[in-house]
Structure formats: structure tokens, C-alpha cells
A and B are shown apart, each in its own frame.
Chain A
Amino acid sequence: SQQGEEDPQALSIQEGENATMNCSYKTSINNLQWYRQNSGRGLVHLILIRSNEREKHSGRLRVTLDTSKKSSSLLITASRAADTASYFCATAAIKGGGNKLTFGTGTQLKVEL
């Protein structure tokens, strides 16, 4: 079963706008990670947030984590056409040292010119 469920399933915005994707999960975690997948390609790691962190930034990316609500959000600011991709959250189980990842179903982001 999927650990993470992303919302929305699909998102279409204009270039320059911000994009927000949400992820909910079910069990306690070691960390939560976000990945990007361009069409037909492998996944690329974007950012990792540990269970004792609440917010993390990396360039135009901002991730929040609320362990009490078992949810996370990914914000992409000032989006570009090149940000068009699918975005997945992945939770790392406490057992196993944080390596065993369970992926959500993903959000398809389309950024239009």
C-alpha cells in the first residue's frame, strides 16, 4: 500500500506563479523526501527533511513537515516551464535507518508559458 498520498494529482499553472503540492502519510517516519521525475526518465532527489525538522529551503524549493498531522508540503516559487514534471514524496521508515522509501502516487505539474 502507498504510504504517501499526494494532492493534487495534477496541477497546471502559469510561469512565474508558485506551485504547492501536499503529501500525507500514515506511519511514523525517519525522514521525508521529495523527488522529481521528468517524462520517461528516472527520479531525481530534490530535498530531504528529517522528522525533527519543520521547514527546509533549497533554492526555489520550500518544504514543510508536520509530524502531528503526518503531512508535508512542497512549494516551488517563481515556477518555470522547466519545472514541468511529476513530483513524488517518499517517506523513510524508522526501521532500517531511513533508507527504505515508500513513495506516494505523485503530482503532475505543468507550467505553461
Chain B
Amino acid sequence: NAGVTQTPKFQVLKTGQSMTLQCAQDMNHEYMSWYRQDPGMGLRLIHYSVGAGITDQGEVPNGYNVSRSTTEDFPLRLLSAAPSQTSVYFCASSYAGQGLTEAFFGQGTRLTVV
């Protein structure tokens, strides 16, 4: 079972560069989300999607774009990387609706912006 797959695992970017973090799930989950994890701050929600073609902003959306063209994929785009975006990024998915909302997480992407 692949579950939630994130690529790449590690990435170093220069300030101003753009890149896309990939996330794919094979569980037919409607709900997908992106979090960033910084030391001492837990996980903060960047963007989420309740289904193909529907996305919304989370707590810290600035500097990031998402799209959801298929149920399986939910890429996160950094438009112009900044050192403040150095973080570990996690993608998660879950069934939508009442009572079955445990989230499955990918292994993370460790991003460093220099």
C-alpha cells in the first residue's frame, strides 16, 4: 500500500526560485491538505481541498499555490521561495465527512531556502 507519497524528500532552493512539491494518494480520499512544520510550532495548515477542482486557504497560505485537478494529486507550488519558507512540508489525505476523518500523512519534504 503506497498511501500518501511525497516527492522530493529533500530540496534546497535559492531565494526567488520556484518549485512544486508533489503529493499523491491512492486511497480515493476526497480531502487533501498541506501543512508546514517548524520547530516548536506544531503543524500549520497551508491549503486544503475537499475534492477535485475545490481548494481553500488554511492558516498560512501566503507564498503558496495549490490546484486539484484529480482526486489523487495535490501539488503545492512555491511561487518565489523565501528563507522564511524553510520548513518541513507534510501532505495529508482523509475521507471527507463525519466520523472517518483520520488523516494519513506522507513522509514529508524537507525544504531549505538559501
Instruction: Answer yes or no: do A and B interact.
Output: yes
With a CB–CB cut-off of 8 A, which chain B residues contact A96? 50
With a CB–CB cut-off of 8 A, which chain A residues contact B41? 2, 105
Interface members, chain B 1-53 (any A CB < 8 Å): 4, 31, 33, 35, 40-45, 48, 50
Are the C-beta atoms of B42 and A106 separated by less than 8 Å? Answer: yes
Are the C-beta atoms of A42 and B90 separated by less than 8 Å? Answer: yes
Question: Any chain A CB within 8 A of the CB of B106?
Answer: yes
With a CB–CB cut-off of 8 A, which chain B residues contact A50? 99
Are the C-beta atoms of A97 and B101 separated by less than 8 Å? Answer: yes
Question: Any chain A CB within 8 A of the CB of B84?
Answer: no
Are the C-beta atoms of A98 and B108 separated by less than 8 Å? Answer: no
Question: Any chain B CB within 8 A of the CB of A26?
Answer: no
Q: How far is the CB of A38 from chain B (nearest CB, A)?
A: 11
With a CB–CB cut-off of 8 A, which chain B residues contact A41? 107-108
Question: Any chain B CB within 8 A of the CB of A11?
Answer: no
Question: Any chain A CB within 8 A of the CB of B104?
Answer: yes
When A2-B42, A99-B31 are in contact, do A31 and B107 touch as well, CB less than 8 Å? no
Identify the closest chain B residue to A104 (Cβ). B42
Identify the closest chain A residue to B48 (Cβ). A100
Question: Any chain B CB within 8 A of the CB of A63?
Answer: no
Are the C-beta atoms of A97 and B96 separated by less than 8 Å? Answer: yes
Q: B residues bordering A, Cβ < 8 Å? A: 4, 31, 33, 35, 40-45, 48, 50, 58-59, 90, 92, 94, 96-99, 101-108
A-B contact pairs, 16 of them (CB 8 A): A1-B59, A30-B98, A31-B101, A41-B108, A42-B4, A43-B92, A44-B105, A45-B102, A45-B104, A48-B102, A99-B48, A99-B94, A100-B45, A101-B103, A103-B42, A103-B43
Q: A residues bordering B, Cβ < 8 Å? A: 1-2, 4, 30-31, 33, 35, 40-45, 48, 50, 88, 90, 92, 96-106
